[in-house]
Amino acid sequence: MSGMASDPNNSSQEEYIPHYLQKEDPFASKLSREADIIAGFYLTIIGILSTLGNGYVIFMSSKRKKKLRPAEIMTVNLAVCDLGISVVGKPFSIISFFCHRWMFGWMGCRWYGWAGFFFGCGSLITMTAVSLDRYLKICHLSYGTWLKRHHAFICLAIIWAYATFWATVPFAGVGNYAPEPFGTSCTLDWWLAQASVAGQVFVLSILFFCLLFPTAVIVFSYVKIILKVKSSTKEVAHYDTRIQNSHILEMKLTKVAMLICAGFLIAWIPYAVVSVWSAFGRPDSVPIQFSVIPTLLAKSAAMYNPIIYQVIDCKFACCRPGGLKAKSSLKKSR
């Protein structure tokens, strides 16, 4: 981090020195050993459940990959992102929590920060695309007549390019990845906003393009869907059984998407609030023992999606006449 050393002529740097530029070891855990062990076990359980759950979703989807609907393709991509977070990122933090310090140096810190941000951004942008798909499908019925599988794959290419761009921007000299204040994990260098105007522009750009704008699109889409569903429920009741079944399926996919988005945002918003406070507020006023809780909550987001998908899937099957038989006939019709 020598390129980020403070300029003696920069008054803002004199007012605030990031924790990783202070004299103490930035990778030594600031938590008690007992707290680190508890966090390590917690992440181990989260990682195992997330890996098994998302791996199961990907495996089952691969068995019918040629029959997947566009919305289901996006759900599989979400599982890939969540699996990437669990397999690529969590082992680093689990080992570090159990060892009571970050064990992988600055290169490992930057890699871990990049991987976490890359897959996290990919997840959020995938959910944004899903919410738009649901909005257009439910609120603009003609949209569904031209959306094909190859449109979904084009959308996937855009999502991965978007995530790659924003995750790699910090390596271009306008930002960086740095250790968390508690020492055993790494993230985007939010503290750059305390140092310079360029740092503030970097952090604000990340917040807008990788959090605020996608979240606004998601909220807009589902608010419009809720309003549309309330106004059209009676109309659908007059259609024939085939159209009603299609409507039920679309609403099932919409419920899955809404719950997944809600789970993701609930997990990540506390971390975003602490990060924004670190960037533009008084970072030292956030107790280290408190700052680790939003981080652990955010790391659990990858575990929710397969659980949500299976619960809605089972509820959908059991609530229809014929139970599981109806579910199997629906899958066959797909």
Element (H, E) at 285: none
Residue 127 lies in a domain: yes
Given pLDDT bands bounded at 50, 70 and 90, which one contains residue 7? Answer: very low
Structural domain tally of the chain? Answer: 1
Neighbouring C-beta atoms of residue 157, cutoff 10 Å: 9
How confident is the model over 176-199, as pLDDT tens digits? 999 999 999 999 999 888 888 888
Residue 192 lies in a domain: yes
Q: Which residues contact 63 (CB under 8 A, 6 or more apart)?
A: none
Given pLDDT bands bounded at 50, 70 and 90, which one contains residue 167? Answer: very high
Residue 76 lies in a domain: yes
What backbone torsions phi and psi does residue 6 show, to the nearest 5 degrees? -75, 145
Structural domain boundaries, residue 238? 33-317
Instruction: Give the mean model confidence (pLDDT) for residues 222-243.
Output: 66
List the structure tokens of 102.
Answer: 């970050």
How confident is the model over 47-103, as pLDDT tens digits? 999 999 999 889 888 888 778 888 788 888 989 999 998 998 899 999 999 999 999
The pLDDT value given to residue 221:
87
Given pLDDT bands bounded at 50, 70 and 90, which one contains residue 242? Answer: low
Whether 277 has a pLDDT exceeding 50, the answer reads: yes
List the structure tokens of 120.
Answer: 């996290």
Angle at 146 between CA 245 and CA 59, to 5 degrees: 65
Which CATH number do you get for residue 245?
Answer: 1.20.1070.10
Whether 144 has a pLDDT exceeding 80, the answer reads: no
Residue 333 lies in a domain: no
Q: Which residues contact 115 (CB under 8 A, 6 or more apart)?
A: 84, 85, 88, 89
Whether 33 has a pLDDT exceeding 60, the answer reads: yes
Residue 99 lies in a domain: yes
Residue 173 lies in a domain: yes
Whether 166 has a pLDDT exceeding 90, the answer reads: yes
Find residue 178's DSSP bridge partners. Answer: 187
The tokens 């040629």 sit on which residue? 66
The pLDDT value given to residue 250:
66
What distance in Å separates the CA atoms of residue 157 and residue 127, rounded to the nearest whole number? 14
User: Against a cut of 0.85, is the pTM above it?
Assistant: no
List the structure tokens of 121.
Answer: 């951004």
Higher confidence at residue 247 or residue 308? 308
Residue 23 lies in a domain: no
The pLDDT value given to residue 36:
95
What distance in Å separates the CA atoms of residue 35 and residue 307, rounded to the nearest whole number? 27
Higher confidence at residue 89 or residue 34? 34
The pLDDT value given to residue 52:
92
Average pLDDT, the chain: 80
Residue 11 lies in a domain: no
Torsion of CA 185, 186, 190, 192, to 10 degrees: 120
Torsion of CA 216, 219, 223, 229, to 10 degrees: 130
| Secondary structure, 3-state, 169-213 | HHHHCCCCEEECCCCCCEEECHHHHHCCHHHHHHHHHHHHHHHHH
Element (H, E) at 299: helix 288-299
Residue type, 40: G
